[in-house]
């Protein structure tokens, strides 16, 4: 697992900017340009999630789960809870949480989609054609399977052992004669001439 430093630096910078804007007292005036508070929450969490997703270079499933846990659930909810608990005279707002979660989920969805496409293109470039989504049917899920194949089914070991005596009537019941290695008594050990 490798850390991509440019994305980590951008994420840390965005955390500091977001914390300064979100946890500053109301008398500290942030320049406004007639923007909505919810749009700022949406944009901030979109950018935070976008940067956080690409920090770790590992498999897609781990990145999605970690980003969802840290950014969407952790930062999205915790920022509003902390904002409500601190004595900075800011109000806890459920709609801010909704804007945080929606911005984070949109970024997570876009990053996941792009990551999947990027991996499929890499596999195709290497000549590996068994990429998910290329086939019309999925045999493991039983999609478009016409029926059971007909063929010879070998008996199991238990079936073979259960039928070991089915040809007992063909078995020889006489004991073999004991010999000393010669065919007959008049054999003198010479080559035959016939």
Average pLDDT for residues 132-157, to the nearest whole number?
A: 60
Question: Please, are residues 85 and 79 in contact by the beta-carbon 8 Å criterion?
Answer: no
Domain range enclosing 46: 2-125
First to last CA, the chain: 84
Q: Based on the number of CB atoms within 10 Å of its own CB, is 70 exposed (0-12), middle (13-18) or buried (19 or more)? A: middle
Residue 151 placed within a domain:
no
Q: Is residue 56 part of a domain?
A: yes
- 63 class by beta-carbon count within 10 Å (0-12 exposed, 13-18 middle, 19+ buried): buried
Q: How many domains are contained in the chain?
A: 1
Give, as one character, the DSSP assignment of residue 31: P
Q: Give residue 23's pLDDT.
A: 76
Is 185 inside any structural domain? no
- Binned at pLDDT 50, 70 and 90, residue 62 comes out as very high
Stated pTM of the model:
0.60
**What is the β-pairing status of strands 2-3 and 56-57?**
antiparallel
Residues 185-193, mean pLDDT to the nearest whole number: 62
Examine residue 80 and state whether it is found in any structural domain, yes or no. Answer: yes
90 SS3 class: coil
């Amino acid at each position: 697992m490798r850390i991509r430093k440019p994305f980590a630096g951008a994420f840390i910078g965005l955390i500091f900017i977001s914390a300064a804007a979100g946890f500053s007292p109301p008398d500290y005036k942030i320049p406004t340009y007639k923007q909505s508070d919810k749009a700022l929450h949406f944009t901030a969490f979109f950018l935070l999630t976008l940067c956080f997703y690409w920090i770790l270079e590992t498999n897609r499933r781990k990145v999605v789960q970690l980003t969802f846990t840290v950014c969407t659930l952790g930062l999205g909810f915790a920022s509003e809870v902390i904002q409500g608990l601190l004595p900075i005279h800011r109000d806890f707002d459920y709609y801010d949480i909704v804007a945080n979660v929606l911005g984070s989920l949109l970024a997570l969805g876009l990053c996941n989609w792009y990551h999947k496409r990027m991996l499929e293109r890499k596999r195709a470039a290497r000549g590996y054609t068994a990429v998910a989504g290329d086939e019309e049917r999925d045999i493991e899920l039983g999609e478009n399977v016409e029926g059971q194949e007909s063929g010879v089914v070998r008996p199991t070991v238990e079936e073979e052992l259960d039928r070991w005596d089915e040809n007992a009537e063909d078995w020889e019941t006489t004991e073999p004669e004991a010999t000393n290695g010669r065919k007959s008594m008049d054999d003198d050990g010479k080559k035959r001439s016939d």
